[in-house]
Amino acid sequence: MAHIYLQKELAVFLEKQQAEARLHQSIHNFTGIWFVPCVTGTPSTRFSRGEESCLSNCVERFLDTSLFMVRKIEEQRSALENGNGKFT
């Protein structure tokens, strides 16, 4: 009996760890992608305001894009279901 509980607990733990790892993975990817366009010239001793806001703008706009795409697809799908089967 204890055995089953333990397995369940480990499964939950692993699921959580994997989710965290996925999150980290995307942060790694984003940093890699945006470091080059945002940090221009030779790296200095600290970030300029522009470089810092470039990085955070990139994150925000990327997530906006992602949400926008999802909404767009949703719209098209519901238009397809309700309407005459034509894409808008």
Partner 1 sequence: MASRKEAVMNAVKNEIALTNAQQLMNSANERCYKACITKPGTSLSSGEQTCLSRCLDRYMEAFNIVRRTYMTRLSKERMEDQANVI
Q: Which residues here bind partner 1, judged by CB under 8 A?
A: 2, 6, 9-10, 13-14, 17, 20-21, 24-28, 30-32, 34-36, 38-39, 42-45, 47, 52, 55-56, 58-60, 63
SS3 of 39-60: the string is CCCCCCCCCCHHHHHHHHHHHH
Q: Compute the least distance from the CB of residue 39 to partner 1, in Å.
A: 6
Closest CA to 30 of 64, 60, 69, 72: 60
Which of 43, 83 has the CB closer to partner 1? 43
